């Protein structure tokens, strides 16, 4: 009888833990991460440098604006796209006429940078289809594994891409992410978040970018390959000179 009495509290705790892991939703995990990173502000604008461009992000309720600018041999180029208008390119403040293929090329490039820069906020978008795959242990720490797909409507040209996010169960931060993409021959990528720092109450991170030895791999196998040292580092994603205007 004494053995039963001592066992009951542990058994109840086990049931509660299992119940929590089964009932938590991907939306709840994403919202926890957004809140932990400070991205739940209603309005803000942010500027930052990435590689050869200076970027500017403006977000308001039901509106966003993405911009990037670059000076080439004294000539100023500016790309702007918003939630209401497709991309426009300006050369020394004069609007250029672009064909559809070039417009799509510039739009996809700008949108890709802004997508990763805004994580996890961007996972709240209407086009996102998310699902909790369960808990995963990587290097001894527990993470939620979240699968992300996209609706064709609002999902952009790359709506068929598949993503995986591993979100720390304690800090609620994205620690790792991976994706399979189809453009330009396609492939698999895995990123480790690094250099967490806050500006204007918002947490930002850089990434180390990896690929597997095979062009395409199951996304769920990548943490195992990481632990075994079987991923190949291909680049570092560093956002510099971040400034937040609330």
pLDDT of residue 184: 80
Report pLDDT for 154: 63
**Tell me, what's the pLDDT at 160?**
83
pLDDT of residue 33: 98
Distance between CA 132 and CA 26 in Å, rounded? 5
Reported pTM: 0.87
Contacts 24+ apart (CB under 8 A), 179-182: 179/219, 180/216, 180/219, 182/158
**Parallel/antiparallel/unpaired status of strands 141-150 and 88-91:** unpaired
- Find residue 190's DSSP bridge partners: 178, 210
CATH number belonging to domain 30-245: 2.50.20
pLDDT score at 188: 97
CA distance 186 to 119: 22
The pair of structure tokens assigned to 202 is 């918002």
pLDDT tens column, 71-81: 999 999 999 99
Distance between CA atoms of residues 246 and 243, nearest Å: 10
Looking up tokens 């050369």 gives 91
- Output the pLDDT for position 202: 97
Q: Which residue has the tokens 């050869």?
A: 52
User: What does each C-alpha distance from 195 to 39, 48, 111, 220, 229 come to in angstroms?
Assistant: 17, 15, 22, 24, 21
* pLDDT for 8: 42
**103, 112, 236: which is closest to 179 by C-alpha?**
112
Backbone φ, ψ for residue 101 (5° rounding): -65, -40
What stretches of 139-173 adopt beta strand conformation (E)? 141-150, 162-168
The tens digit of pLDDT for each residue in 48-104 reads 999 999 999 999 999 999 999 999 999 999 999 999 999 999 999 999 999 999 999
Residues contacting residue 55 through CB under 8 Å, at least 6 positions apart: 47, 48, 49, 66, 67, 68, 113, 114, 117
**pLDDT mean by block of 10 residues, the chain; 246 residues:** 39 42 88 97 96 96 96 96 97 96 95 96 95 97 97 68 97 98 91 97 98 96 97 98 94
Question: Which is it for the CA torsion 60, 62, 65, 66, positive or negative?
Answer: positive
Question: Tokens 């909790």 — which residue?
Answer: 132
Looking at residue 41, its pLDDT comes to 93
């Amino acid at each position: 009888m004494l053995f039963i009495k001592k066992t009951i509290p542990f058994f109840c705790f086990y049931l509660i833990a299992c119940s929590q892991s089964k009932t938590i939703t991907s939306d709840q995990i994403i919202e926890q991460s957004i809140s932990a990173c400070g991205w739940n502000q209603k309005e803000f604008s942010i500027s930052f440098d990435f590689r050869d461009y200076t970027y500017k992000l403006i977000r308001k309720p039901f509106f966003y604006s993405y911009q990037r600018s670059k000076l080439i041999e004294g000539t100023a180029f500016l790309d702007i796209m918003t939630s209401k208008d497709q991309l426009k390119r300006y050369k020394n403040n004069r609007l250029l006429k672009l064909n559809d293929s070039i417009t799509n090329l510039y739009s996809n490039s700008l949108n890709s940078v802004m997508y990763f820069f805004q994580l996890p906020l961007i996972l709240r978008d209407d086009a996102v289809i998310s699902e909790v795959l369960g808990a995963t242990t990587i290097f001894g720490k527990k993470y939620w594994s979240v699968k992300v797909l996209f609706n064709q409507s609002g999902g952009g040209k790359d709506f068929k891409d598949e993503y995986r996010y591993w979100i720390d169960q304690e800090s609620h931060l994205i620690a790792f992410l991976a994706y399979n993409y189809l453009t330009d021959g396609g492939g698999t990528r895995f990123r480790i978040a690094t250099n967490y720092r806050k500006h204007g109450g918002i947490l930002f991170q850089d990434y180390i970018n990896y690929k597997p030895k095979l062009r395409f791999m199951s996304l769920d196998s990548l943490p195992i390959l990481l632990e075994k040292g079987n991923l190949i580092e291909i680049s570092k994603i560093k956002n510099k000179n971040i400034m937040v205007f609330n």
